A and B are shown apart, each in its own frame.
Chain A
Amino acid sequence: MQWCRECTHAPHLLHFCTVYIFHLPYSIFTIPVTMKVDQRTEPVPALEIVGLSLSFGETDILKDVTFDIPRGRFLSIVGPNGAGKTTLLRCVMGVTTDWAGEVLVDGRPVGFYRRKDLARLISYVPQSDDTWFPFTGRELVMMGRYPYLSPFTPPSRTDVEVVERTLEATGTTSLADRDMRTLSGGERQKILIAGALAQEAGIMLLDEPTTFLDPRHTEEILSILADLNKSGVTVVMVTHDINHAAYYADSVTALVDGSVAFNGSSEDLMNKEVLASVYGKEFILVKHPESGKMMALPGGGQV
């Protein structure tokens, strides 16, 4: 069945969308076949990963990874180094292409969307990169508006407003005119998140957003993400910090050797057996004296 590729709506004869001219052929030539309406009664998850597998040569990086991420969820993905966490995000974003299985965004396969349309649904903050051209923070955030811009038209007033709003939401307005190369790691990460936020997507994927950051910046960034989640954005964060994963997220998926080893609420993760099976090492669980939440400390005689 043919869908309207301009606005990703199901086709019928009198369907209008913003890019009307390009859309016209679809509405004329597609016969409204009996639409395969999603019969499921529960709401469609923001992201569904079904049987995702990937191998480089002989090595399997991901093995039949299957899990759902419901809309509005704050999900942490944890797991030891080399478990395939980053690769999983790269597969979803189409950076890595030759995987098998299915990834559904809002109930439709990722391959169905054009890249720009996908960027309006999912934004992505990869592990930060150290080579930079001398762009300012504001210019970098404006790049997040790319999916809404056509090649020769300058950014509209709306685009400028969105950029200013996201700068404010991430507390980076004062950094906006500085050269990205002069910013600290934490400031840079906040600008990158602001850029992803400017895409106004309902889902945000982040790859280790707080690694290498000091405690203050880590907390700032995690609370920005928590606020975002409260405003309705589905947040998916790969992290190495079990305590952050459990504290900020409402559910956790653990990958071990490319397979899902745990998928459940963050309270359930804080369990000696679960943690031992994920990381292959002992943990001690203690209650945080202030928040009362459980915390994992490395056990087994180490300090």
Chain B
Amino acid sequence: MTRARQIWILIALFTGSVVVLLTMPLIGMKFTPLQAVLDPAGSGIEGEIFWRIRIPRVLAAWLAGAGLAAAGMVFQALFRNSLATPFTLGVASGAALGAALSIRFGIALSIAGISSTPLWAFAGASVSILLVYGITSGITGTRRGMNTATMLLAGVAVSFFFSSLNLFTQYISDFTHTFRIIRWLMGGVQVAGYKSILEMLPLVLGGLVITLWLTRELDILTTGEEMAAGRGVDVARTRNLLFFGSSLMVGGVVAVCGPIGFVGLMVPHICRLLVGPGHRFLAPASILAGGTFLTVCDTFARTIIAPAEIPVGVITALLGGPFFLALLIRDR
């Protein structure tokens, strides 16, 4: 893994992101011709669809993919386990419960027109990550790598617990709330305009900045907490910061797009093969690749059976399920 190769791959991933962000909004049920987009009058229906619907949607998909991939990468380093992701650890369920509660009880106080649902999702994500980490490290200890079985079981338990609370929330909700919650739980990036982007942007960006800031600590944490302490890493502080950052990302994404699975599993793994395990390159690579991946998946989801749409979560799960099994078999 030479330095030059790593840099070239980053450049390629960056270019890929730019190309995808520029071209995917043009694709849809009907291809939007360039002149309709650039029409200064902008009153045509095609321009309208492009600017009001497709651009926000593509942006949401990119941000969600980037955030989920980065969160997955952080969890894998903290748990020192290749199967740790926002989905398998139940963090997405926690975030979903927080968001569902805020939708149901209307505690989504909006501040300057921006909903506070992401903050509730963030709170849910924080609680579940602390739970799973506490359970796993309490049972297996932090000295050896986190035991895969314990971690997955703890994740499943937390996930089930929050999912049933989520079902309960739906049960006591009226029809419209329930429909909204169910539709959103499927995971999709069909956002309503730029407001949703504004809701998730600060959280996701905050999390990404924390992740990029702590790449060196992430490297050292993969060798174990005891070793990290010896190297001069403030383990408790770093771990809490990373939990905070990843909860921000998962909370922000889940609040707007619902729980989209497996992005945080596949993308960091493929990037590890491309640029190696060092987070200095792995983190930006995962962010760029995650964004590109989900944007492409979503374009596929909304065009394959047009005019109907598949929730993008279905596509990622179809790809991710086999991937997860393959990793499980390989790691044995």
Q: Mark A83-108, 1 if CB is under 8 A from B, else 0.
A: 00000001001110000000000000
Query: Which residues from chain B contact A140 at a C-beta distance below 8 Å?
Result: 223
Q: Does the CB pair A95–B232 fall under 8 Å?
A: no
Name the distance in Å between B50's Cβ and chain A's nearest Cβ: 38
User: Which of A93, A117, A134, A149 meets B229, CB within 8 Å?
Assistant: A93
Say whether B332 faces chain A, with CB atoms less than 8 Å apart.
Answer: no
Query: Which residues from chain B contact A95 at a C-beta distance below 8 Å?
Result: 225-226, 229, 235
Say whether B216 faces chain A, with CB atoms less than 8 Å apart.
Answer: yes
Q: Does the CB pair A199–B229 fall under 8 Å?
A: no
User: Which of B143, B144, B231, B277 meets A133, CB within 8 Å?
Assistant: B277
Given A129-B224, A131-B144, A124–B230 Cβ distance below 8 Å? yes
Given A129-B143, A151-B216, A196–B226 Cβ distance below 8 Å? no
Given A127-B143, A135-B277, A151-B216, A115–B232 Cβ distance below 8 Å? yes
Given A95-B225, A134-B276, A134-B277, A129–B231 Cβ distance below 8 Å? no
Name the distance in Å between A209's Cβ and chain B's nearest Cβ: 13
Given A95-B225, A139-B278, A143-B219, A199–B144 Cβ distance below 8 Å? no
Say whether A130 faces chain B, with CB atoms less than 8 Å apart.
Answer: yes
Residues of A117-170 at the interface with B, using a CB-CB cut-off of 8 Å, are: 117-120, 122-127, 129-135, 139-140, 143-144, 146-147, 149, 151
Interface of A is mostly: mixed
Name the distance in Å between B36's Cβ and chain A's nearest Cβ: 43
Q: Does the CB pair B145–A129 fall under 8 Å?
A: yes
Say whether B9 faces chain A, with CB atoms less than 8 Å apart.
Answer: no
Query: Which residues from chain A contact B235 at a C-beta distance below 8 Å?
Result: 95
Name the distance in Å between A289's Cβ and chain B's nearest Cβ: 39
Query: Which residues from chain A contact B220 at a C-beta distance below 8 Å?
Result: 143, 146
Which chain B residue lies CB-closest to A198? B231
Q: Does the CB pair B278–A93 fall under 8 Å?
A: no
Q: Does the CB pair A126–B230 fall under 8 Å?
A: yes
User: Which of B77, B232, B278 meets A147, CB within 8 Å?
Assistant: B232
Q: Please report the C-alpha to C-alpha distance between residue A127 and residue B224 in the assembled complex, in whole angstroms.
A: 10
Q: Does the CB pair A133–B226 fall under 8 Å?
A: no
Q: Please report the C-alpha to C-alpha distance between residue A85 and residue B219 in the assembled complex, in whole angstroms.
A: 28
Say whether A116 faces chain B, with CB atoms less than 8 Å apart.
Answer: yes
Q: Please report the C-alpha to C-alpha distance between residue A126 and residue B230 in the assembled complex, in whole angstroms.
A: 8
Given A90-B226, A95-B225, A146-B220, A134–B231 Cβ distance below 8 Å? no
Say whether B107 faces chain A, with CB atoms less than 8 Å apart.
Answer: no
Q: Does the CB pair A118–B232 fall under 8 Å?
A: yes
Say whether B213 faces chain A, with CB atoms less than 8 Å apart.
Answer: yes
Query: Which residues from chain B contact A144 at a C-beta distance below 8 Å?
Result: 231
Residues of B194-243 at the interface with A, using a CB-CB cut-off of 8 Å, are: 213-214, 216, 219-220, 222-227, 229-235
Say whether B57 faces chain A, with CB atoms less than 8 Å apart.
Answer: no
Q: Please report the C-alpha to C-alpha distance between residue A205 and residue B229 in the assembled complex, in whole angstroms.
A: 12
Among B213, B214, B272, B277: residue with most chain A CB under 10 A? B277
Q: Please report the C-alpha to C-alpha distance between residue A144 and residue B227 in the assembled complex, in whole angstroms.
A: 10
Q: Please report the C-alpha to C-alpha distance between residue A140 and residue B224 in the assembled complex, in whole angstroms.
A: 12
Query: Which residues from chain B contact A151 at a C-beta distance below 8 Å?
Result: 213-214, 216
Q: Does the CB pair B227–A129 fall under 8 Å?
A: yes
Q: Please report the C-alpha to C-alpha distance between residue A240 and residue B225 in the assembled complex, in whole angstroms.
A: 24
Q: Does the CB pair A119–B144 fall under 8 Å?
A: no
Q: Please report the C-alpha to C-alpha distance between residue A131 and residue B232 in the assembled complex, in whole angstroms.
A: 20
User: Which of A90, A135, A199 meets B231, CB within 8 Å?
Assistant: A199
Closest CB pairs A-B (n = 4): A119-B232, A131-B145, A124-B230, A147-B232
Sample of 24 A–B contacts (CB below 8 Å): A93-B226, A95-B229, A115-B229, A116-B232, A122-B230, A123-B230, A124-B229, A125-B230, A126-B143, A129-B143, A129-B144, A129-B145, A129-B223, A130-B145, A131-B144, A133-B80, A133-B277, A134-B277, A135-B219, A144-B231, A146-B231, A146-B232, A146-B233, A199-B232
Beyond A126-B224, A126-B230, A205-B230: 11 further Cβ-contacts under 8 Å?
A: A129-B144, A131-B144, A133-B272, A133-B277, A144-B231, A146-B220, A147-B231, A151-B216, A192-B227, A196-B230, A199-B232
Q: B: which residues have CB within 8 A of A?
A: 77, 80-81, 143-145, 213-214, 216, 219-220, 222-227, 229-235, 272, 276-278
